């Protein structure tokens, strides 16, 4: 069977992202999203999800570029910037390898994020993370433990670019990041499978900027083999305010339109590709 999981990350971060997820579900463009527990529009996202039971909602575990669920005083090595996380994965990894981030702080914060989603009445389909931080050594086994303890047995493995919509790569740093993630993914997949976790067979996503387009989705449908593929998206309704709010030069609108494109949906259907979520694995 051919299963396509189109997953919208950053649910709960901004109203224009929440709106894009809602409309994409209504237009049958996606059935999966990942919710950020510490972001300001979390409650709005929960309301949107509860009105759309066909939408599978995962937890977008966050350790960078966002706000924690716990008070800063309870996680002092994580909340280091006026109560916020470090700005990006590069800063986090630097602090992490230098031993400046306490493992106990990570565990407390990730547990609080998972529990906030559960307490809101959402039964998570899976876990993944903002900027792939769950893939790091020492953090991945912790994520599996925390998820399994709450009945969540599906996880994103950020590897295996199934075709590459993000060419050319912007620079050597992004190439290094990609291949580093590939190595971690090979190790993490083995560990997840050994502990009874399910994950998609293949993954489409970015290490650097870029966007999934309608053209890429058609190409993906044409070359789709049996099994499951996750396509990671960051859809939004208006680029300019979202770029300003997030500081990320991303084409949010293109990704929204790509999955809602009638020709894309027709081709997926014709090729026998079933739009799915992590709960279908």
Task: Give the DSSP per-residue string, 174-192.
Answer: HHHHHHHHHHHHHHHHHHH
Query: What pLDDT tens digit does each residue of the chain (281 aa) get?
Result: 999 999 999 999 999 999 999 999 999 999 999 999 999 999 999 999 999 999 999 999 999 999 999 999 999 999 998 899 999 999 999 999 999 999 999 999 999 999 999 999 999 999 999 999 999 999 999 999 999 999 999 999 986 544 444 344 444 344 445 556 677 888 999 999 999 999 999 888 754 446 889 998 999 999 898 999 999 999 999 999 999 999 988 999 999 999 999 999 999 999 999 999 999 99
Using an 8 Å Cβ cutoff, are 32 and 8 in contact?
yes
User: CA 219, CA 258: separation in Å to the nearest integer?
Assistant: 12
SS3 2: strand
Q: Is 103 left (phi over 0), alpha (psi -120 to 50) or beta?
A: alpha
Q: Which pTM was predicted?
A: 0.92
Spell out the domain ranges in the chain. 2-280
Type and span of the H or E element at 229: strand 227-233
Q: Report the CATH fold assignment for 2-280.
A: TIM Barrel (3.20.20)
Q: What are phi and psi of 232, to 5 degrees?
A: -85, 125
First to last CA, the chain: 11
């Amino acid at each position: 069977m051919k299963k396509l999981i189109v997953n919208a990350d950053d649910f709960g971060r901004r109203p224009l992202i929440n709106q894009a997820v809602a409309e994409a579900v209504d237009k049958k463009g996606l059935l999966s999203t990942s919710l950020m527990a510490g972001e300001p529009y979390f409650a709005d996202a929960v309301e949107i999800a509860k009105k759309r039971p066909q939408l599978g909602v995962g937890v977008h575990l966050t350790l960078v570029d966002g706000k924690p669920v716990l008070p800063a005083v309870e996680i002092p090595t994580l909340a280091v910037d006026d109560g916020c996380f470090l700005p990006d994965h590069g800063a986090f990894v630097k602090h992490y390898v230098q031993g400046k981030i306490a493992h106990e702080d990570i565990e407390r914060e990730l547990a609080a994020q998972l529990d906030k989603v559960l307490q809101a009445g959402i039964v998570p389909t899976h876990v993944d993370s903002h900027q792939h931080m769950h893939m790091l050594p020492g953090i991945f086994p912790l994520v599996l433990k925390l998820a399994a303890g709450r009945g969540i047995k599906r996880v994103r493995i950020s590897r295996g670019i199934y075709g590459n919509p993000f060419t050319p790569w912007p620079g050597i740093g992004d190439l290094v990041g990609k291949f580093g993630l590939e190595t971690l993914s090979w190790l993490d997949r083995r560990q997840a499978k050994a502990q009874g976790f399910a994950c998609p067979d293949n993954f489409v996503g970015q290490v650097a900027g870029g966007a999934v387009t309608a053209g890429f989705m058609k190409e993906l449908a044409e070359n789709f083999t049996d099994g499951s593929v996750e396509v990671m998206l960051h859809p939004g309704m208006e680029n300019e305010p979202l770029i300003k709010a997030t500081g990320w030069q991303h084409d949010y609108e293109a990704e929204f339109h790509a999955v809602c494109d009638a020709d894309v949906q027709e081709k997926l259907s014709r090729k026998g590709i079933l739009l799915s979520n992590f709960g279908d694995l």
